[in-house]
Structure 1
Amino acid sequence: MVNVGVLGATGMVGQRFIELLSGHPKFKITALTASARSAGKRYQDAVTWHLDSQIPEAVQDMVVVDTDPSQVKDVEIVFSALPTEHAAIVEPQFAAAGMGVASNASAMRMEPDVPLVIPEVNPEHLELIDNQRKNRGWDGFIVTNPNCSTIALVMTLKPLYDEFDIQRVYVSTMQAVSGAGYNGVPSMAILDNLVPFIGGEEEKMESETLHLLGDFDGETVTPASFGVSASCHRVPVVDGHTEAVFMEMEEDFAVEDVKNAFRNFKGLPQKLGLYSAPSTPVIVREEDNRPQPRMDRLTQRGMAVTVGRVRKDDVFPQSLKYVLLGHNTVRGAAGASILNAELINEIM
């Protein structure tokens, strides 16, 4: 078993890490960190648990420690659910102390020697870990997963990017409130409402998408060259980001070929049979009214992305439209970091 820790264990994503790691066949939680006001308390006394599940028994009496590498002993990998501004300072400290950091935070995502990875999409980018260690003198490392809405989008773009020539992608998101954390969106601001702006989200989707699908030469990543334009919106849904995608192709295509590309898509995690990997990363629904958050967000334990309404556009030639849904705190956050760690543990 690999001893692991969770940084920021009392927050929403930290709780999801703990839930998903409970009963994991290869990872054992031996350290939980949080802010100074929680340090020294038993986890069940320090946390306000927001998930539908119960706090796993294995961590209920675990004493929370300060988020400092000197307080985390005999741990190989830490999963970071820290706020961005804190992660930028603390994550390098843990990597310098010899631990692997599988981060959900955005602080280090676009650093040139830090892998930004979706295991089914660009596992070869993990080779940047060697460069990172040389550049920074670390025994440990940092690997990041993308923004929650980006992950769901790119999971569906990868099979199309491999088989078709994409010219432009336009995406409009309808994002769940859990993506902002438990206290992130006041109820009076979102009930009976839609908020048409999420700070920094559109920029992340546009830059991270091209980076993930970029060419890696062993040293640097050259971003993909097609255009991406995003518009991001907060909606009164608890979990599950829905995205409407409009795509212009270089040449004509058959809708059934697109669906087959989705259905046949497999990546390295599926070939290796990794514990958290969905057997089918992209699920195609044929019903006109699917996907829907309540019905589809937990497909394949929340680790698959569901697509529906796959069709040609009637107005613009050589254009494709579809709707996708991904669980933002599972596949889009904690589950993504855990799958990254599983892959690293398997191949490195």
Structure 2
Amino acid sequence: MPKIKVAILGATGAVGQRFVQLLENHPWFEVSALTGSDRTVGQKYGAGVRWVLSGPVPEYAREMIVLPTEPGFDAQIAFSALPTDIAKEAEPKLAAAGYGVCSNASSHRMWPDVPLLIPEVNPDHTALIAHQRQARGWPGFIVTNPNCTSTGVTIALRALHNAFTLTRGFMVSMQATSGAGYPGVASLDILDNVVPYIGGEEEKFETEPRKMLGKLAADQIEFAPFVLAAHTNRVPVTDGHLVCASLEFAQKPSPEEAARVLADFRAPEIVQNLPSAPKQVIEVRSEPDRPQPRRDRDAGKGMATVVGRLRPDPLFHLRLVILSHNTIRGAAGGALLNGELLVAQGMVK
């Protein structure tokens, strides 16, 4: 089939660059537009971008002219790496102009009629798009992916909640510096240090999994009834968010039972053959000191969730450690997989 034209919004930022990288030679999508800030609009992408990823700027993007983030570019899907304050106004305008917006921003995640989507977890939530279009009069739509820390945790929780019914959880995150974008956290703040506060992060971490693991009911989502509490910390690691979780369930699992459920978890059939989907959604490590960001963040080309250190918890039922790549699975790669799902479901043609 002919490739679907896609745009990357905010293409010069750290997450935008990851989109540019991941979309090189994509089997379904052709990048037809790159948008950027006033500083870069009108320039060739290769000249205007301050490239921060490993490897060179992909050849296909070098000569593309950076456009303003306004309706008018030729694309069906707009992958958004816009900052939240800009996305808040720009993304609805683009949806109203007919674009399918797959957003990485937090601006619209908790809108009742906007899917907060992880294809392996809640692909049925895309049914909200019809309600969104009807209520807002948009020919296009907005779909969002979750916070980078919520992503890997929610994938693991999906498997465990299905099997044992989660009732409450306590989580502590150790989040990589790339999650703050570029230039991100000042070196004097993060070197030889841990920063025990990330603005707005704990609230997202405690709320987003409840929406994603909730049930589709008419024109909105009934949040899952479990309760989560979180501490979030910025640590001197480049990529990979690590979460230590303690969980309680309606049916108490042994660590062995939980490990088996996690390892056996499979994505819904419609997701399994998507180009960006990992073959193994959750990788379970048996070593006592894994997962580790440097060693495990690239599992499944950065799209897999890695779990380890499953053991009994004297206060709850189960302790475990969860790792995911924050700028691939938790950002650009997650939004890209959402776009692929929408094509597979016939939402984009």
Q: TM-score, normalised by structure 1?
A: 0.97
Give the whole-Å Cα distance in 2 for the aligned partners of 1:294 and 1:304.
14
Aligned counterpart, 1:37 = 39
Stretches of structure 2 lacking an aligned partner (at least 5 in a row): none
Q: How does 1:80-99 map to 2 (within 5 A)?
A: 80-99=80-99
1:290–1:308 Cα contact (<8 Å) kept: yes
The letter of the residue matching 1:343 is: L
Give the whole-Å Cα distance in 2 for the aligned partners of 1:53 and 1:217.
45
Aligned counterpart, 1:336 = 334
Aligned counterpart, 1:262 = 262
Which piece of structure 1 moves more, 241-250 or 320-329?
Answer: 241-250
The sequence identity of aligned pairs, in percent, is 48
RMSD across aligned positions (CA): 1.0
Q: CA deviation at 1:89?
A: 0.4
The letter of the residue matching 2:142 is: I
1:270–1:278 Cα contact (<8 Å) kept: no
The letter of the residue matching 1:82 is: L
2:175–2:240 Cα contact (<8 Å) kept: yes
Give the whole-Å Cα distance in 2 for the aligned partners of 1:252 and 1:301.
33
Give the whole-Å Cα distance in 2 for the aligned partners of 1:56 and 1:269.
32
Give the whole-Å Cα distance in 1 for the aligned partners of 2:269 and 2:35.
29
The letter of the residue matching 2:137 is: G
Q: CA deviation at 1:248?
A: 1.5
Aligned length in residues: 344
SS for the counterpart of 2:60 is helix
Q: CA deviation at 1:216?
A: 0.8
Aligned counterpart, 2:22 = 20
Q: 1:271 to 1:3 in 2, by over 3 A?
A: closer
1:270–1:277 Cα contact (<8 Å) kept: no
Aligned counterpart, 1:112 = 112
CA deviation digits over 1:255-278, x for unaligned, max 9? 221111111111126754000000
Give the whole-Å Cα distance in 1 for the aligned partners of 2:252 and 2:135.
45
Give the whole-Å Cα distance in 2 for the aligned partners of 1:310 and 1:328.
22
Aligned counterpart, 2:59 = 57
CA deviation digits over 1:296-333, x for unaligned, max 9? 000000000100101112x33x6100001100000000
SS for the counterpart of 1:306 is strand
Give the whole-Å Cα distance in 1 for the aligned partners of 2:204 and 2:251.
28
Runs (4+) of structure 1 moved beyond 3 Å? 269-272
Q: CA deviation at 1:35?
A: 0.9
Give the whole-Å Cα distance in 2 for the aligned partners of 1:24 and 1:106.
26
Give the whole-Å Cα distance in 1 for the aligned partners of 2:177 and 2:168.
28
Stretches of structure 1 lacking an aligned partner (at least 5 in a row): none
Aligned counterpart, 1:281 = 281
